[in-house]
């Protein structure tokens, strides 16, 4: 049954991607891209990657759609007819694709438990991580403990992306009377429902943050969900209101704070006589130490991702609003 | 248990049927507002039926509670989303078919 | 039939990758190029997750009485890659906004000409 679902969903994904090629309306492209993200999240669930699916649904369908739409608000929604012939790209793609398809024949069959990928590091993670780290969710154990360095690097990359966006586009706080009239301002129903929903979304983000050790979730997902709550607020009540609730300055402090929190756990474990990010040294009992370490670094990740996603959104949205004013 | 299984199967099937008709309506209906109507009405009934069907499959533990919460939030958010869509379309100046016909006759 | 089932996932991955590649090299509009890039990216995610799947396994969260789990390692790599991916995409989109402001267009062939004019 799972195989059948897999086949159908993958075919739908392929069709969605194919449709994107021929669309000239970029608004529809972005919407289809959101559908594409949701479909891939479903496929990830079907392939047992629940954490990944969670992230894809929150990030791919939520944040990137909003960012692309706010870019479209500035660049226009129509793609112009191209004068180039599309034969050469098509040829290149066909040849490359044929070569890759030929290459897949040498790959180990899908889903076989004897594949090389399952023979090396993975058995150690699956057998030892519940004992060594003491968490049921292996993805969190690997993410935060075994591959802690890697995750620190990723968090720094996310932080660097925020710096990049903020140097390219600045967030400017505007006077209220300048603020454009959002089409959603007169939307009583939306206001009421958003007011009811947003606290629950933030609560859910906290649940995902702190329950990530036991179920799907963790800092990355929680940060994105919390950012999505504030983005919803900004979309419904207007950007100036959101800027008043959480100011960009505050976010610019929060983002490095998360990275520093993460790194300081590493430094602290060095002071306690271990290696960088060696959580075993954080408490007398190594497993307790792992627990403390993982909770703190996940919190650091969550804070950074939240601050980065939200300030990127602020940067994009304030560009769009400024254009509306002028 | 046997009875519950049959009941949940029936609920799931009817839910899938409504979901399917919603999708059909989305494709076949003539203008934006009828399409929103088709999608939203069938979506709410389909989600109620499917989630209830799934609830009957659980052991009435934490998972049931989670499904109830999902249902609750869907009941709040999906009509709101349809409402917001339709209202934004009005705000943007989109007319329903009879209205645009009338406009044509007047002009 | 089992041959198809064994490789279907990889073929779809290759198809998606080539779709994204095609959009990147053939589209003129920069926003569409970014969408193509994202499709390419997702196909790589799909490849990793497909490789991590074990038939009959469950999600890598320890449950009493379950012996077979899918491989958690690709999940970790891809989870972080998705978040990093949206961060880098946003940098790309920010660049597009600046390009629009500097050249007045986001169509590739158009601002090439205005570059020549300078």
Q: Encode pLDDT of A26-47 as tens digits.
A: 999 999 999 999 999 999 999 9
d(CA A120, CA A59) in angstroms, rounded, equals 31
A14/C51 Cβ within 8 A: no
Quickly name the fold that domain C2-60+69-117 has. Answer: Helix Hairpins (1.10.287)
Size of interface A-B (CB pairs under 8 A): 22
ipTM: 0.91
pLDDT tops 60 at residue C118: no
Residue of A nearest to B87 (CA): A187
d(CA A9, CA A178) in angstroms, rounded, equals 47
pTM of the predicted structure, to 2 decimals:
0.90
| Residue A218 with chain C: CB contacts under 8 Å | 79
pLDDT of the residue at C116: 55
Over residues A130-139, mean pLDDT: 87
For residue C7, the tally of other CB atoms under 10 A from its CB is 18
d(CA A236, CA A187) in angstroms, rounded, equals 8
Chains B and C contact (Cβ–Cβ under 8 Å for 3 or more pairs):
no
Q: For chain A, how many residues are written?
A: 326
User: Is C44 at the interface with chain A, CB within 8 A?
Assistant: no
Over residues C22-42, mean pLDDT: 90
> Which of B80, B87, B88 lies closest to A193 in CB terms?
B80
A93/C25 Cβ within 8 A: yes
Out of A7-16, A82-91, A115-124, A226-235, pick the least confident.
Answer: A82-91
pLDDT tops 50 at residue A177: no
Over residues B82-97, mean pLDDT: 82
pLDDT of the residue at A184: 55
In this complex, the chains that touch B, judged by 3 or more CB pairs closer than 8 A, are A
In this complex, the chains that touch C, judged by 3 or more CB pairs closer than 8 A, are A
Three-state secondary structure readout of chain A = CHHHHHHHHHHHHHHHHHHHHHCCEHHHHHHHHHHHHHHHHHHHHHCCCHHHHHHHHHHHHHHHHHHHHHHHHHHCCECCCCCCCCHHHHHHHHHHHHHHHHHHCCCCCCCCCCCHHHCCHHHHHHHHHHHHCCCCEHHHHHHHHHCHHHHHHHHHHHHHHHHHHHHHCCCCCCCHHHCCCCCCCCCHHHHHHHHHHHHHHHHHHHHHHHHCCCCCCCHHHHHHHHHHHHHHHHHHHCHHHHHHHCCHHHHHHHHHHHHHHHHHHHHHHHHCCCCCCCHHHHCCCHHHHHHHHHHHHHHHHHHHHHHHHHHHHHHHHHHHHHHHHC
Name the 3-class secondary structure at C58. Answer: strand
pLDDT of the residue at B43: 83
CA distance B106 to chain A (A): 28
- Contact assessment for residue A237 and residue A191, using Cβ atoms and an 8 Å cutoff: yes
Name the 3-class secondary structure at B88. Answer: helix
Over residues A241-269, mean pLDDT: 91
User: Is A8 at the interface with chain B, CB within 8 A?
Assistant: no
Confidence band (pLDDT; 50, 70, 90) for B32?
Answer: confident
B91/A189 Cβ within 8 A: no
In a mutational test of the B interface, the residue from A190, A192, A214 whose CB has the highest number of chain B CBs within 10 Å is A190
d(CA A220, CA A304) in angstroms, rounded, equals 9
pLDDT of the residue at B96: 77
Q: Can you list the alpha helix ranges (DSSP code H) found in chain C?
A: 2-26, 30-52, 72-103, 108-117
d(CA B64, CA B80) in angstroms, rounded, equals 25
A26/C29 Cβ within 8 A: yes
pLDDT of the residue at A133: 86
Domain ranges of chain B: 7-106
d(CA C77, CA C71) in angstroms, rounded, equals 11
B89, two tokens: 């379309």
| Residue C64 with chain A: CB contacts under 8 Å | none
* Percent of chain B topping pLDDT 70: 98
d(CA C98, CA C82) in angstroms, rounded, equals 25
Over residues A178-201, mean pLDDT: 76
A31, two tokens: 């919407």
Number of Cα atoms under 13 Å in the Cβ half of residue B67: 18
pLDDT tops 60 at residue A176: no
Domain ranges of chain C: 2-60+69-117
Domain ranges of chain A: 1-77, 137-326
């Amino acid at each position: 049954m799972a195989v059948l679902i897999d086949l159908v969903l993958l075919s739908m994904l392929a069709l969605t991607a194919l449709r994107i090629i021929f669309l000239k309306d970029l608004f529809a492209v972005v919407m289809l891209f959101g559908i594409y993200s949701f479909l891939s999240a479903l496929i990830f669930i079907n392939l047992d990657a629940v954490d990944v699916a969670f992230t894809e649904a929150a990030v791919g369908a939520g944040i990137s759609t909003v960012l692309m739409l706010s870019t479209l608000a500035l660049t226009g929604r129509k793609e112009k007819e191209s004068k180039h012939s599309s034969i050469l790209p098509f040829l290149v793609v066909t040849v490359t694709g044929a070569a890759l398809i030929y290459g897949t024949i040498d790959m180990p069959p899908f889903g076989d438990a004897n594949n090389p990928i399952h023979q090396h590091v993975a058995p150690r993670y699956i057998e030892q991580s519940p004992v060594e780290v003491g968490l049921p969710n292996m993805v969190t154990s690997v993410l935060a403990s075994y591959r802690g360095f890697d995750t620190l690097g990723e968090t720094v990359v996310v932080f660097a992306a925020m710096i990049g966006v903020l140097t390219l586009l600045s967030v400017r706080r505007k006077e209220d009377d300048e603020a454009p009239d959002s089409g959603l301002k007169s939307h009583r129903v939306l206001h009421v429902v958003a007011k009811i929903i947003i606290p629950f979304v933030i609560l859910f983000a906290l649940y995902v943050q702190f329950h990530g050790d036991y179920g799907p979730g963790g800092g990355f997902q929680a940060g994105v969900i919390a950012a999505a709550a504030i983005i919803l607020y900004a979309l419904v009540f207007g950007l100036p209101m959101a800027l008043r609730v959480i100011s960009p300055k505050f976010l610019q402090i929060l983002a490095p704070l998360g990275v520093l929190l993460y790194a300081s756990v590493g430094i602290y474990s060095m002071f306690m006589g271990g290696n960088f990010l060696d959580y075993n040294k954080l408490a007398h009992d190594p497993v307790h130490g792992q627990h403390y370490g993982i909770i703190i670094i996940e919190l650091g990740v969550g804070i950074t991702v939240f601050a980065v996603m939200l300030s990127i959104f602020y940067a994009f949205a304030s560009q769009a609003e400024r254009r509306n004013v002028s | 248990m046997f009875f519950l299984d049959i009941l949940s199967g029936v609920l799931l099937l009817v839910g899938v049927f409504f979901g399917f008709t919603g999708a059909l309506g989305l494709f076949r209906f003539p203008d934006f507002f009828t399409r929103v109507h088709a999608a939203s009405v069938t979506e709410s009934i389909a989600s109620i039926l499917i989630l209830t069907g799934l609830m009957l499959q659980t052991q009435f533990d934490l998972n049931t509670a989670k499904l109830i919460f999902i249902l609750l939030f869907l009941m709040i958010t999906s009509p709101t989303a349809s409402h917001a869509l339709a209202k934004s379309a009005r705000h943007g100046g989109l007319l329903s078919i009879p209205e645009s016909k009338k406009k044509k006759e007047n002009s | 039939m089992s041959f198809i089932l064994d490789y279907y996932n990889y073929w779809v991955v290759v198809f998606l990758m080539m779709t994204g590649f095609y959009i990147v090299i053939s589209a003129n509009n920069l926003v569409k190029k970014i969408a193509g890039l994202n499709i390419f990216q997702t196909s790589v995610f799909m490849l990793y997750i497909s490789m991590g799947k074990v038939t009959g396994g469950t999600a890598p969260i320890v449950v009493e009485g379950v012996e077979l789990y899918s491989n958690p390692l690709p999940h970790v790599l891809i989870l972080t890659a998705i978040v990093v991916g949206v961060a880098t995409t946003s940098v790309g989109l920010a660049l597009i906004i600046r390009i629009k402001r500097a050249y007045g267009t986001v169509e590739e062939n158009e601002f090439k000409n205005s570059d020549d004019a300078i």
